[in-house]
């Protein structure tokens, strides 16, 4: 990704857009060099145990991908602001924004929030992210009445397993319940 657009240019563009809640420090490919890949399928539970147990006080971590001051990082608010920029901004090139929205709408991983947001009268566009014990999703639900809401869920599991369908289902249900509550408020 940073071959065509160098990392400093990406950071500068985020700042220009006022998207300051994201720390982009390395290429996305650097995320794939975790103990899970080194240990393989038989040892993946050990990688999850390390991810869960190796955190330090002050949000440090033995794994660089999970260390808050060394890894790419962002808050739920920051992810939501990126979505708002993609869906509502007038500052970006319209063709680029449309292409990005099309890519996000084509997300093939639909087990987290999509089951609760994709209906006959709404559509769900999102980007998921999974790194060891972290499961995240940020997306936009667009309703038939023209309203649209950005939704972001960031989770951190304490279970040493990669496959957690119940966690995925709970993530979607809780997020949808909170979204429904906020929509009812105003």
Tens of pLDDT, residue by residue over 73-123, are: 899 999 999 999 888 876 677 788 888 899 999 988 888 888 888 888 889
Which one, of 184, 110, 178, lies nearest residue 150 by Cα? 178
- Quote the CA–CA distance of 21 and 62 in Å, as a whole number: 23
Q: Is 7-185 a CATH 3.40.710.10 domain? A: yes
Q: For the chain, what are the domain ranges?
A: 7-185
- Quote the CA–CA distance of 132 and 47 in Å, as a whole number: 7
Q: What is the pTM of this model?
A: 0.85
Tens of pLDDT, residue by residue over 15-59, are: 988 888 999 998 888 877 888 888 888 888 899 999 998 888 877
pLDDT higher at 139 or 28: 139
Strands (E), the chain: 22-23, 73-74, 122-131, 134-143, 148-156
- C-beta separation of 113 from 126 below 8 A: yes
């Amino acid at each position: 990704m940073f071959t065509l657009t160098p990392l400093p240019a990406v950071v500068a563009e985020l700042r220009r857009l006022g998207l300051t809640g994201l720390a982009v420090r390395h290429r996305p490919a650097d995320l794939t060099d975790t103990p899970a890949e080194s240990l393989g399928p038989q040892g993946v539970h050990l990688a999850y145990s390390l991810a869960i147990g190796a955190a330090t006080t002050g949000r440090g971590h033995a794994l660089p991908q999970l260390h808050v001051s060394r890894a790419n990082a962002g808050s739920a608010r920051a992810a939501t602001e990126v979505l708002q920029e993609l869906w509502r901004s007038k500052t970006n090139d319209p063709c680029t924004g449309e292409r990005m929205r099309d890519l996000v709408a084509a997300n093939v991983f639909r087990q987290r929030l999509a089951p609760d947001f994709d209906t006959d009268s709404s559509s769900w566009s999102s980007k998921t992210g999974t790194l060891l014990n972290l499961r995240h999703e940020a997306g936009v639900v667009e309703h038939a009445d023209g309203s649209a809401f950005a939704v972001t869920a960031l989770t951190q599991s304490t279970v040493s397993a990669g496959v957690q369908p119940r966690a995925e289902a709970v993530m979607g249900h809780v997020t949808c319940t909170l979204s429904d509550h906020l929509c009812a408020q105003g």
